[in-house]
Amino acid sequence: MSNHKFNYFDSKKGDDVIVFIHGFPFNCKMWDGQLDYFRDYYRCIAYDIRGFGKSKTEHYYFSIDLFVEDLKELLDELSLPKVTLCGLSMGGYIALRFIEKYPQYITRLVLCNTKAEADNNDGKAGRANSVQKILKEGKAAFVDGFIHAIFTDNSIKENNPSVDAIKNMMMAADEKAICHTLIALAARTDTTNVLSTIQIPTLIITGEKDIIAPPKIVEEMHSKVSKSEIKIIPNAAHMSNLENPEIFNQTILNFLTNKK
């Protein structure tokens, strides 16, 4: 389904809504395993962020704040004043900025493989270097390097089908959208101060082998969010929803149903 701008999946059944926000540079198909699992319990919505998947964009002046306004527009269009937000990586950046600006929309928060800190100077330079690499060498070299940063060596060696699925999503992504989003990620605001203001139940997840949002950083986030729970997913790196979906899904279901 889509409106004039956003492509999205909506399971439509149920009053308790979970909105899934995908990571960079993927699309909403990265959540297919969760949509299949949770649609029996909740109304599930997953959408393509502007410029990715099948969502269109009129321009490439991207920012996390723009993606936040896009999400608000989608929620308003679907008449969803209260939802659970679940964001992975960049999706978590969007969720944290969204709850800073529009806390009244969110009843529960699930932050997966993400962090509140803005990029430091090395991080900003790394994003800029990635843009230059893509412009000079094309997407394939960037995608190959990125795959090794987000999956465990075991998943890559054992040809986990999720690795090829994510690689295909990245290769299908618009090169302009990738480059402009890299700049948006480098320019994003720091949301560390937001953590202590979050007053809703929050689940913070990462993979035990995640080098982008490592357990140490996630534990620091957990210490600052008063009503938070934390789960380190075994045998997973940055794509914990794909590398260990059974534990990932059960952890979120337990959180949503208040089971320890």
Domain range summary for the chain, segments of one domain joined by +: 8-256
Pull the structure tokens for residue 216: 């140490």
Note the pLDDT tens digit of each residue in 82-97: 999 999 999 999 999 9
Return the residue matching tokens 């937001």: 194
For residue 159, the model assigns a pLDDT of: 87
Note the pLDDT tens digit of each residue in 211-236: 999 999 999 999 999 999 999 999 99
pLDDT value at 30 more than 90 = yes
Considering the entire predicted model, what is its pTM?
0.96
pLDDT band per the 50, 70, 90 thresholds, residue 260: low
Secondary structure (3-state) at 29? helix
For residue 258, the model assigns a pLDDT of: 87
Note the pLDDT tens digit of each residue in 159-181: 899 999 999 999 999 999 999 99
Q: Which of 65, 67, 111 is nearest to 86 (CA)?
A: 111
pLDDT value at 2 more than 50 = no
- 13-30 mean pLDDT: 96
- 29-55 mean pLDDT: 97
Pull the structure tokens for residue 128: 């800029």
pLDDT value at 1 more than 80 = no
- 192-208 mean pLDDT: 98
Secondary structure (3-state) at 206? strand
Secondary structure (3-state) at 11? coil
Buried b (16+ CB within 10 A) or exposed e, 82-109: ebbbbbbbbbbbbbbbbbbeeeebbebb
Question: Which has more pLDDT, 146 or 5?
Answer: 146
* 189: exposed, middle or buried (Cβ count in 10 Å: 0-12, 13-18, 19+): middle
CATH 3.40.50.1820 fits 8-256, yes or no: yes
